[in-house]
Structure 1
């Protein structure tokens, strides 16, 4: 390994002659410097892609069909529920605006991101989609759809 470092060090005089500001040219090839340049972009994509894929559970009784899902970090205002042609769609919209200023107030970074997550469920034809009820408490979404099925008694 010392041999590799020594071979690398042989090129430093060449680079230093090309560098009008001593240390700047070699700094550009330093991995830590490159990472510091790319960090804001990396952080931007981390926050922009942070919209998770939520899991929902369904169960059914004789009277209703129930869908429940835990939505950590989501506010009620971000949730939109639609029903069309026996398809229930849950959409979650996330808008983020981040502004960072360094300590010396020499540089300000602004990031805006928009994300949308949507999941659709095909509903059985026997459900009464006109009477869908939804509640959202403690980051838990619960949707209840009454059944139109009727039990027919045999005489």
Structure 2
């Protein structure tokens, strides 16, 4: 028995108690991790001419949604900012609270898109984005030298 073992009752060396503490740690860490790891749920499907992205955004307002085309994909961002202010001169208190939530989703695309022709529509909590495929030019081929 080591000198540290003498300081604690035998109960703390039991596997059952260690498992219980491990479960308790997970209980307190998991809800916070879920909050910070939130992603926007999306369905992505392809037709011959376009890629269609549908994102479920219930309770979100159109003004909270930001779409950004990056070099090889689409980024959807939803931001919610709230400021609550209360003031009561009779009871002499003032309260101001701020909250900020943000969710993002990046969708990489396997082809070049016709960026200027991308269309987005938001209706009944569903964001639908239609991304047309860029038409290839006939002489798009290039010979590659081998060293």
Q: Give the conservation status (yes or no) of the 8 Å contact 2:60–2:125.
A: yes
TM-score norm. by structure 1 comes to 0.56
Matched, 1:140 2:132: no
Matched, 1:53 2:39: yes
Aligned mates of 2:91, 2:126 — CA distance in 1: 41
Matched, 1:77 2:71: no
Q: What's the counterpart of residue 125 of structure 1?
A: 111
Matched, 1:87 2:59: no
TM-score norm. by structure 2 comes to 0.58
Q: Secondary structure at the match of 2:63?
A: helix
Where in structure 2 are there 5+ consecutive unaligned residues?
A: 1-31, 139-147
Q: Secondary structure at the match of 2:116?
A: helix
**Structure number with bigger Rg:** 1
Q: Rate the CA distance shift 1:51–1:75 in 2: closer, same or farther, 3 A.
A: farther
Instruction: Give the drift of 1:78.
Output: 0.9
Instruction: Give the drift of 1:105.
Output: 4.0
Where in structure 1 are there 5+ consecutive unaligned residues?
A: 1-45
Equivalent residue for 1:110, pick from 88, 93, 96: 96
What is the count of residue pairs matched by the alignment? 103
